[in-house]
């Protein structure tokens, strides 16, 4: 297990010494589970809503439109350079809300724990979620805990659902993409997937590629604040850029034209992909998104992206044509155009 | 990356392409033998930069594609056994045997693992003394030195729980077999750069002479391939049939002598069945007598397995360059990367997979346009 | 990047692939030194890149360019 740089100073309030490993009883609904929830989850995610310990949390939201999303996180290994399953579970759901232009507010956290999971591991993940939630300005207000028999889970699975408020009037969705729109990406691609590959068994790289797992909602909100018209946003997770572009192209039935030399990939990610024979455009990111912006607003949008965290390599990679065929065309480095097709199956092991 | 990016430059590529256009006056059919070259050609769209008179034929250069169905079945048989850790390069996992593939065996509980280098299997053998470690040794001459070193070290360490299923193939006999076939339209060859890095290019002189074909040892980057094509065309246009070396930054005439030495020590030349083509005499490498103890076929008693190849898959014709992938009736319909009929659709270097991935839409649109 | 190992068969080098460091067996390139470029295949270096030869294709292109300029420049 790769060690994070943080030191585990905050001592776990849950008596790990007495229960160093998760037992089936911790999901049983009795005292052990009650203790686990109270002394670990509540203590970490501290907020009044969670402390009511009701079956459901009740919130009052201003504004008429609410964004709602859910995602499950089954990444293996649990800890990797640049993050862990916990921080991913927060960032990933926050980002899904951001793709609708919402301000993320509340998350739920459902845990499926495997019997035998070290409590220390759980505590590390919980702390990571706490820290990520704080940075994102969201609260984890309700949750669930289940324990499954040893051998039936990969240590730890997390589901997070999230709600946010949509305060703008734009319709951000694939159907709103128009010909002439510029396609932007918020930063360089492929770091997350390759960071995972680097830690997995049998693929040892000695220099570290760090995952790009990070929240993007502030950047999106800045775009909205600047009055920029946004036609569509899509985060580049499983399947990478290729999947995202193909899905949107399918939905709106327009051809997209992108140029390979414009798509930002860091040198070491590129090298790792070369060695393993992988396509960097299909590798998952966890803190990057594509934006479809009308040409007149593209320059300003790019400036906002670049000003955001990790945004130095944000750039325009292509545009939407007026051909009514659902496909994505890539102009290769040598100048020839070819189709950028969706991957068929699993290119990588479980990465998100 | 240095020594990589410069060879993908658009401007240089166009310059070379222009020169090819300038010197080409007649139609020519040129075959590239290496799967890596096929992949690069289709991925970068290099054939579109060439004049229409030049027909690039994709040869049997993908070792995964040419591994006999029989051998896949033997691998499946061994991998399914309890107490075996079966190790292979990634591509082999989805290649269909007669009924199933390694990935399915893995899903049903077989311990099948992907390795990056054959040496990784030795570590596994040492770490798991109670298990049998079996390595699927597939590849052209390029990979043979790695396998040879692995076997050599296994012998030195006296490992009892290690063995390998050997399926190495040799390029020159395959080229001979192709050229001596009556339907062969190949007029010039791009020889495989990394195969020649190991073996040198002495063996190609007799072939060039006997069949009067120019052979240019070529690399894998767009510029290498374009320059290789240019050199072949120049020879064809002037009636020459010589062996030239485009990939001189890596290939020397005599090749890599230490590697050849170890290959000779560990292996011997044997007849080998090529999937889709049939048996080609003296075209494979098998373990030499001294190292026979490491032969998995003998160890697991699967040496006698015999299999008939299914007829629907036309990969044999594709591998011989007789048809292009999209000319096969099953292409894109019954046969896709998700449910492949043959190895050429599975391997990332297979011609069918390359065409499916990069060309499918235009081929489908062209067909649709032709109909309307 | 660095070379270690006494046994010539197990001589191993750390190779820098554009920022990624990985080990490769150097048994087949006994003449390789730190700073050399090598071609690596499945964990083994199989040849040392000859930098002079590597430049040749660019010289060739330059020659072609000069030649075509000359032609265009003619009457």
Structural domain boundaries of chain A?
A: 24-166, 174-339
If DSSP codes are grouped into helix, strand and coil, which group holds residue A116? coil
- Distance of residue B368 Cα from the nearest chain C Cα, in angstroms: 41
* Contact check, Cβ <8 Å, C14/A270: no
* Contact check, Cβ <8 Å, B12/C61: yes
Q: Which fold has domain B1-313?
A: Rossmann fold (3.40.50)
* Contact check, Cβ <8 Å, A333/B9: yes
Residue B293 has a pLDDT of 93
Chain B interface mutation, best of A334, A340, A344, A348, highest count of B Cβ atoms under 10 Å: A334
Q: What share of chain C is helix, strand, coil (3-state, %, to 5)?
A: 35, 30, 35
Q: What is the mean pLDDT of residues A6-35?
A: 76
Greater confidence, B208 or C2? B208
- Distance of residue B44 Cα from the nearest chain A Cα, in angstroms: 6
Residue A202 has a pLDDT of 42
In a 13 Å sphere around the CA of C29, the CA atoms on its Cβ side amount to 28
Q: Given C42, C56, C58, which is nearest B118 (Cβ)?
A: C42
* Contact check, Cβ <8 Å, B49/A203: no
* Contact check, Cβ <8 Å, C25/B149: yes
Residue A2 has a pLDDT of 35
To the nearest whole percent, how much of chain B has pLDDT over 90? 54
Q: What is the mean pLDDT of residues A272-288?
A: 85
Helix (H) / strand (E) containing C52: helix C51-73
pLDDT greater than 80 at residue B13: yes
Greater confidence, A115 or B4? A115
Greater confidence, B156 or B36? B156
- pLDDT band per the 50, 70, 90 thresholds, residue A5: very low
* Contact check, Cβ <8 Å, A271/B113: no
Nearest-Cα residue of chain C relative to residue B156: C9
Other CB atoms within 10 Å distance of the CB of residue B279: 12
CB pairs under 8 A between A and C: 31
Interface of A with C in 256-275 (CB under 8 A): 266-268, 270-272, 274-275
Q: What is the mean pLDDT of residues A252-269?
A: 93
Whole-angstrom Cα distance, residue B215 to residue B201? 10
Per-residue pLDDT tens digits for B150-202: 999 999 999 999 999 999 999 999 999 888 888 888 999 999 999 999 999 99
Interface of C with B in 45-64 (CB under 8 A): 46-47, 49-51, 53-54, 56-58, 60-61, 64
* Contact check, Cβ <8 Å, A275/C14: no
Whole-angstrom Cα distance, residue A15 to residue A11? 10
* Residues of chain B positioned with their CB less than 8 A from the CB of C17: 1
- Distance of residue B155 Cα from the nearest chain C Cα, in angstroms: 13
Residues B263, B303 contacting (CB under 8 angstroms):
no
- Distance of residue B4 Cα from the nearest chain C Cα, in angstroms: 10
* Residues of chain A positioned with their CB less than 8 A from the CB of B14: 334-335
- The complex's ipTM works out to 0.81
Residue C9 has a pLDDT of 57
- Interface membership of B146 toward A (CB under 8 Å): no
Q: How far is CA A349 from the centre of its chain?
A: 17
Other CB atoms within 10 Å distance of the CB of residue C36: 16
Least reliable range by pLDDT among A89-103, A134-148, B314-328: B314-328
* Residues of chain C positioned with their CB less than 8 A from the CB of A273: none
Q: In what order do the strands lie in the sheet with A139-148?
A: A65-73, A156-166, A103-114, A139-148
* Contact check, Cβ <8 Å, B198/C46: yes
Residue A6 has a pLDDT of 40
- Interface membership of A18 toward C (CB under 8 Å): no
Greater confidence, C50 or A98? A98
Nearest-Cα residue of chain B relative to residue A255: B361
Q: What are the CB-based long-range contacts (under 8 Å, 24+) for B104-107?
A: B105/B76, B105/B79, B105/B80, B106/B79
- Distance of residue C45 Cα from the nearest chain A Cα, in angstroms: 13
Per-residue pLDDT tens digits for A232-241: 999 998 889 9
Per-residue pLDDT tens digits for A61-88: 776 799 999 999 988 889 998 999 999 9
* Contact check, Cβ <8 Å, C17/A207: no
Interface of C with B in 9-28 (CB under 8 A): 9-10, 17-18, 25, 27-28
Chains touching C (at least 3 CB pairs under 8 A) are A, B
Q: What is the mean pLDDT of residues A217-226?
A: 95
| CA neighbor of A46 nearest in space, from A78, A7, A10 | A10
Per-residue pLDDT tens digits for B116-128: 889 989 999 999 9
Residues A186, A311 contacting (CB under 8 angstroms):
yes
Q: In what order do the strands lie in the sheet with B243-245?
A: B54-58, B28-32, B188-192, B215-218, B243-245
- pLDDT band per the 50, 70, 90 thresholds, residue B361: low
* Contact check, Cβ <8 Å, C28/B145: yes
Sequence-separated (6 or more) residues with CB below 8 Å from residue B197: B142, B247, B250, B251, B255, B256, C39, C46, C47
Per-residue pLDDT tens digits for B68-97: 888 999 999 999 999 999 999 877 888 888
Whole-angstrom Cα distance, residue B143 to residue B130? 28
Q: Given B15, B250, B259, which is nearest C65 (Cβ)?
A: B15
Nearest-Cα residue of chain B relative to residue C51: B249
* Contact check, Cβ <8 Å, B258/C30: yes
Residue C10 has a pLDDT of 63
- Kindly list the structural domains of chain C, giving each domain's residue range(s) and its CATH number in brackets, ordered by start: 2-73 (2.30.30.140)
- The answer as to CATH 3.40.50.2300 being correct for domain A174-339 is no
| Domain ranges for chain B | 1-313, 315-371
* Contact check, Cβ <8 Å, B358/A339: yes
Other CB atoms within 10 Å distance of the CB of residue A300: 14
Residue A153 has a pLDDT of 67
Per-residue pLDDT tens digits for A172-221: 999 999 999 999 999 999 999 988 887 774 455 556 788 999 999 999 99
To the nearest whole percent, how much of chain B has pLDDT over 70? 93
* Contact check, Cβ <8 Å, B1/A270: yes
* Contact check, Cβ <8 Å, A341/B361: yes
Interface of B with A in 24-43 (CB under 8 A): 43
- Interface membership of C69 toward B (CB under 8 Å): no
Report residue C48: phi and psi, to 5°. -100, 130
* Residues of chain A positioned with their CB less than 8 A from the CB of C42: none
Residue C74 has a pLDDT of 42
Helix (H) / strand (E) containing A55: none
- Distance of residue C17 Cα from the nearest chain A Cα, in angstroms: 6
Burial of A223 (0-12, 13-18, 19+ CB in 10 A): buried
- Interface membership of C1 toward B (CB under 8 Å): no
Nearest-Cα residue of chain C relative to residue A276: C42
To the nearest whole percent, how much of chain A has pLDDT over 70? 91
Sequence-separated (6 or more) residues with CB below 8 Å from residue B169: B63, B66, B139, B140, B272, B274, B283, B284, B285
- Distance of residue C53 Cα from the nearest chain B Cα, in angstroms: 5
What are the Cα distances from residue A78, in Å, to A154, A301, B348, B368? 9, 35, 30, 49
Give the mean pLDDT of chain A: 87
Polymer length in residues for chain B: 372
- Distance of residue B245 Cα from the nearest chain C Cα, in angstroms: 11
Q: Given C29, C44, C50, which is nearest B248 (Cβ)?
A: C50
- Interface membership of C35 toward B (CB under 8 Å): no
* Residues of chain B positioned with their CB less than 8 A from the CB of A262: none
- pLDDT band per the 50, 70, 90 thresholds, residue C54: confident
Chain A interface mutation, best of B1, B16, B39, B45, highest count of A Cβ atoms under 10 Å: B45
Q: What is the mean pLDDT of residues A43-58?
A: 84
* Contact check, Cβ <8 Å, A268/C19: yes
* CATH architecture designation of domain A24-166: 2-Layer Sandwich (3.30)
Residue A47 is given by DSSP the state: -
């Amino acid at each position: 297990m790769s060690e994070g740089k943080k030191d585990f100073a905050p001592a776990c309030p849950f008596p790990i010494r007495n229960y160093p490993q998760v037992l089936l009883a911790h999901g049983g609904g009795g005292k052990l589970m009650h203790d686990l929830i109270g002394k670990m989850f509540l203590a970490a995610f501290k907020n009044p809503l969670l402390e009511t310990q009701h079956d459901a949390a009740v919130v009052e939201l201003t504004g008429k439109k609410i964004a709602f999303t859910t995602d499950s996180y089954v990444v293996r290994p649990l800890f990797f350079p640049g993050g862990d399953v916990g921080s991913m579970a927060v960032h990933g759901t926050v980002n899904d809300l951001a793709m609708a232009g919402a301000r993320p507010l509340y998350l739920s956290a459902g845990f499926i724990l495997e019997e035998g999971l070290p409590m220390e591991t759980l505590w590390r993940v919980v702390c990571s979620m706490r820290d990520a939630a704080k940075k994102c300005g969201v609260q984890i207000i309700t949750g669930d805990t289940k324990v499954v028999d040893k051998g039936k889970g990969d240590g730890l699975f997390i589901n997070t659902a999230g709600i946010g408020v949509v305060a703008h009037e734009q319709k951000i969705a694939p159907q709103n993409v128009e010909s002439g729109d510029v396609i932007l990406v918020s930063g360089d691609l492929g770091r997350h997937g390759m960071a995972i590959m680097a830690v997995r068994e049998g693929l040892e790289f000695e220099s570290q590629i760090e995952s790009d797992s990070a929240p993007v909602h502030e950047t999106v909100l800045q775009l909205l604040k600047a009055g920029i018209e946004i036609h569509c946003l899509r985060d580049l997770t499983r399947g990478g850029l290729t999947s995202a572009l193909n899905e949107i192209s399918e939905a709106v039935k327009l051809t997209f034209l992108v140029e390979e030399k414009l798509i930002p990939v860091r040198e070491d990610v590129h090298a790792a992909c070369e060695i393993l024979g992988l396509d960097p455009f299909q590798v998952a990111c966890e803190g990057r998104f594509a934006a479809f912006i009308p040409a007149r607003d593209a320059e300003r949008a790019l400036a906002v992206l670049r000003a955001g965290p990790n945004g130095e390599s944000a750039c325009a990679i292509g545009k939407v044509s007026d051909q009514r065929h659902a496909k994505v065309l890539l102009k290769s480095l040598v100048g020839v155009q070819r189709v950028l097709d969706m991957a068929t199956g699993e290119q990588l092991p479980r990465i998100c | 990356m240095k020594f990589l990016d410069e060879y993908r430059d658009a401007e240089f590529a166009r310059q070379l392409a222009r020169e090819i256009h300038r010197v080409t006056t007649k139609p020519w059919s040129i075959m590239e033998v290496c799967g890596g070259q096929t992949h690069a050609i289709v991925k970068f769209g290099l054939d579109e930069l060439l004049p229409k008179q030049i027909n690039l034929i994709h040869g049997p250069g993908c070792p995964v594609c040419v591994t006999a169905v029989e051998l896949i079945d033997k691998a499946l048989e061994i991998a399914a056994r309890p107490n075996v850790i079966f190790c292979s390069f990634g591509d082999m996992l989805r290649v269909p045997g007669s009924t199933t593939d390694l990935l399915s065996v893995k899903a049903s509980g077989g311990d099948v693992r992907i390795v990056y280098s054959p040496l990784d299997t030795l570590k596994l053998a040492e770490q798991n003394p109670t298990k049998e470690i079996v390595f699927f040794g597939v590849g052209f001459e390029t990979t043979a030195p790695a396998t040879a070193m692995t076997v050599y070290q296994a012998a030195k360490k006296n490992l009892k729980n290690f063995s390998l299923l050997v399926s190495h193939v040799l390029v020159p006999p395959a080229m001979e077999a192709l050229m001596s076939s009556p339907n062969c339209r190949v007029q010039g060859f791009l020889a495989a750069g990394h195969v020649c890095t190991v073996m040198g290019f002495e063996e190609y002189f007799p072939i060039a002479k006997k069949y009067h074909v120019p052979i240019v040892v070529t690399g894998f980057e767009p510029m290498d391939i374009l320059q290789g094509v240019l050199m072949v065309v120049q020879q064809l246009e002037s009636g020459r049939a010589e062996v030239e070396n485009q990939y001189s930054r890596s290939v020397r005439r005599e090749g890599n002598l230490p590697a050849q030495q170890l290959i000779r020590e560990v292996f011997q030349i044997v007849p080998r069945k090529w999937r889709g083509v049939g048996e080609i005499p003296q075209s494979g490498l098998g373990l030499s007598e001294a190292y026979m103890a490491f032969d998995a076929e003998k160890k697991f008693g699967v040496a006698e397995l015999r299999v008939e190849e299914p007829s629907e898959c036309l990969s044999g014709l594709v591998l011989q360059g007789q048809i292009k992938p999209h000319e096969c009736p099953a292409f894109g319909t019954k046969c896709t990367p998700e449910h492949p009929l043959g190895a050429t659709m599975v391997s990332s270097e297979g011609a069918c997979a390359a065409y499916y991935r990069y060309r499918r839409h235009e081929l489908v649109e062209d067909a649709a346009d032709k109909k309307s | 990047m660095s070379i270690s190992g006494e046994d010539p068969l197990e001589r191993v080098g750390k190779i820098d692939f554009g920022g990624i460091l990985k080990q490769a067996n150097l048994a087949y390139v006994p003449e390789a030194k730190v700073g050399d470029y090598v071609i690596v295949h499945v964990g083994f270096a199989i040849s040392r890149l000859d930098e002079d030869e590597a430049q040749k294709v660019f010289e060739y292109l330059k020659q072609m360019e000069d030649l075509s300029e000359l032609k265009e420049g003619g009457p």
